[in-house]
Structure 1
């Protein structure tokens, strides 16, 4: 039977262990009680399912991680991992364990110090990643319940990006890049059409979902029918110019080329938004 070597007792419920020359954090009720450094833990299934990976951390980083992280935060984040995996019916990639715990630990520390958490891309994140945003809302409920602290909605957006990054081969940094890009696009559309985009969340969502489709098609070298583009250029000339601007924002942010046919479909969405002024 495989065994874990205890390297450090973090609390009665959280221990740092080593197995096969890799470091893990194990979470379980009373798992560290009465134990000490150098002891071994056997490898029953219930422990195996409670591990938190420290993958991606160098020796210095993981030492700093352990010294600055509240063990209670590790326990609570473990509940979040289990909740998310259960809701999604899939296991989150262990690569996000340390990053999410470190983020939550720092966020809670800042809130207790009275430092405001600001998220300028909250609206776009909510529209781009609705499944992960809903999970993040549940994660915040878990944090509130266990820590008895008020957590702003801004934090939900950051947690959603972390959870998105833990699914399959997704990348949190790509998700943040997309949210920033959408923020710029919606700001540009609102300015050019002279409308308050916050008043039209449904149409904003439709536009963002369409732009996600544009990205997917471009990345797969798929193209839409372009026979009607010249007609749209004449009929919706102003919206088409804005669609052209949007395509350039996307090209610069994502290093892709957006074909003219896609601009036509974007112009149609913009025309719907523009019609609300009349």
Structure 2
């Protein structure tokens, strides 16, 4: 047992200083991350921590996660500092983040930097869906990514911002990263099937992002009780018959009501219900969007053929 320092609980002893506001500590119960304003300022390994300055924010490091400490021990101090500063930047913008973000994001970004330096580029095929579902976190993730690239001298691609976004959303909600990932995956599944129905072999990322954003906005309106009505939906069904058919299928699929043989998605992406009038209204609006979206897709294809 360590000697008690004045005003300090010997239960907490510093093993790693992450930044001015976060430290890893060892106690009789194991390893934890403690978060508090200035808790890491001028701290050194083995310093005691006064529990009065801990803001009741911590995450225990389970025995099967001890590899995080091995990672911290072998990590370039400049990279660790850059990642910790990135987390602080995210916290200032998004508000409270679960302290596990320090370890999970360090784990992810350390390997991302290592892969980049080894010449490996990891793509994130869910970037459009993640960006559409979690715009606030994605915007902050771009700032964190820029900070890491500038501080460490690497050029991690925008795809990494999507990975960072998942960690930020999970830390913001206190849930596992699997939750935001599953929603992005579900949306991607709907879009992939919609593109197949539209016979779109290749879709530019920018147009996939447009479609993702439109569907996320639709999901949000229905889940928050703001589904739109349309005064003459039947005229849209008549004049834009094909687009109406596709829009109808998309909404049924998002609601988890599409026939089993016509959809491979698992369960509903939309949490909540919708009236028949609202369904007609949203189908009409989505059909009009698809009409313009298909025009943009065709125009993009013609432009590429000419260039």
RMSD: 3.8
The alpha-carbon distance between structure 1 residues 10 and 84, as it changes in their structure 2 partners (threshold 3 A), is closer
Counterpart CA distance in 1 for 2:290 and 2:76 is 49
Name 1:65's counterpart in structure 2: 68
Name 1:136's counterpart in structure 2: 141
User: Where does structure 2 lack aligned partners over 5 or more consecutive residues?
Assistant: 1-6, 257-264, 299-307
Structure 1 residue 18 and structure 2 residue 35: aligned? no
Structure 1 residue 156 and structure 2 residue 164: aligned? no
Structure 1 residue 211 and structure 2 residue 222: aligned? no
**TM-score, normalised with respect to structure 2:** 0.68
The range that moved more, 196-205 or 156-165, is 196-205
Name 1:120's counterpart in structure 2: 125
**TM-score, normalised with respect to structure 1:** 0.74
The alpha-carbon distance between structure 1 residues 159 and 52, as it changes in their structure 2 partners (threshold 3 A), is farther
The Cα shift of 1:148 comes to 1.2
Whether the aligned pair in 2 keeps the contact of 1:128 and 1:208 (CA below 8 Å) is yes
SS in 2 for 1:93: coil
Whether the aligned pair in 2 keeps the contact of 1:96 and 1:166 (CA below 8 Å) is yes
SS in 1 for 2:26: strand
The alpha-carbon distance between structure 1 residues 223 and 212, as it changes in their structure 2 partners (threshold 3 A), is closer
The alpha-carbon distance between structure 1 residues 44 and 112, as it changes in their structure 2 partners (threshold 3 A), is farther
The alpha-carbon distance between structure 1 residues 116 and 157, as it changes in their structure 2 partners (threshold 3 A), is same
Matches of residues 123-272 of structure 1 in structure 2 within 5 Å?
A: 123-169=128-174, 172-193=177-198, 196=203, 198=205, 200=207, 202=210, 205-214=213-222, 216-217=223-224, 233-250=237-254, 251=256, 252-255=265-268, 261=276, 263-264=279-280, 265-272=282-289
Whether the aligned pair in 1 keeps the contact of 2:236 and 2:287 (CA below 8 Å) is no
The alpha-carbon distance between structure 1 residues 98 and 198, as it changes in their structure 2 partners (threshold 3 A), is closer
Whether the aligned pair in 2 keeps the contact of 1:239 and 1:271 (CA below 8 Å) is yes
SS in 2 for 1:145: helix
Counterpart CA distance in 2 for 1:85 and 1:165 is 13
SS in 2 for 1:166: helix
SS in 2 for 1:167: helix
The Cα shift of 1:273 comes to 2.7
Counterpart CA distance in 1 for 2:174 and 2:232 is 37
User: Where does structure 1 lack aligned partners over 5 or more consecutive residues?
Assistant: none
Counterpart CA distance in 2 for 1:154 and 1:132 is 14
Name which of 59, 68, 87 aligns with 1:81.
87
| Aligned residue pairs, count | 264
Name 1:91's counterpart in structure 2: 96
Structure 1 residue 6 and structure 2 residue 13: aligned? yes
The Cα shift of 1:192 comes to 3.8
Name 1:31's counterpart in structure 2: 43
The range that moved more, 260-269 or 190-199, is 190-199
